[in-house]
Amino acid sequence: MHIIRHQKQEYPASIAEQEALVAAILAAKAESSLIFTEHPPLFTIGTSGSELDVLHKQIDGEPIDVYSSGRGGEVTYHGPGQLICYVVADLRQKQDLHQHVFHLEEMIIRTLADLGVQSGRDKRGIGVWVDGKKVAAVGVRCRKWISFHGIALNINPNLRHFSGIVACGMTDSPVTSIQKLGVDTDREQVEQLITRHSSLFD
């Protein structure tokens, strides 16, 4: 899997990059890719979400933009301290989107295990959870069996920003971060671990 790294990206630019990769893979001009990036504070609304789930567009005096994302799922938050892992994957041979989502979750579960954090899945929804709190959100979109969007892992974001939305349809906003769990790590280390476990998509 090809690895692409951005220190930071505006959300529209990242969507344009993924759209271009999808088209390139369909034209046999690119391979499946894992994109690491980070976004400025923003809320994204998935195809199952509504702007009614955006409660506040300014938190602690900081404005937060809102975008319709086209991915599956409801409303989620992206911002500094959160590692975004967009997986643009060719599923034409397997055509199993459930397995793809399982692999996205598994990639993060194994990464967290390397950091000494026991995590898993939860009946409340897709994503990766630790003791009833979500540490990573998952949302994907599929076009002609090329999947894009992916997973957002909370390393050390401002968790207060999640209070501006009904996160993934859950009014109690049960979110956490690696830092909140007492683990001292940084983006570089987390990226290295995720890259190792991205072999799940080979």
Q: Which residues are catalytic?
A: 168
- How crowded is residue 74: how many other Cβ atoms within 10 Å of its Cβ? 21
Structure tokens, 200: 């799940």
Please enumerate in sequence order all residues whose Cβ is within 8 A of that of 19, keeping only pairs 6 or more positions apart, or say none.
148
Q: In angstroms, rounded to a whole number, what is the distance separating the alpha carbons of residues 202 and 199?
A: 5
Structure tokens, 56: 């506040």
Q: Is the dihedral of CA 106, 115, 11, 49 positive or negative?
A: positive
Secondary structure class of 38 (helix, strand, coil):
coil
Q: In angstroms, rounded to a whole number, what is the distance separating the alpha carbons of residues 197 and 191?
A: 10
Nearest to 126 by CA among 178, 197, 76, 54: 76
Characterize 25-36 residue by residue with b for buried, 16 or more Cβ atoms within 10 angstroms of its Cβ, and e for exposed. beeeebebbbbb
Residue 148 · residue 87 · CB < 8 Å? yes
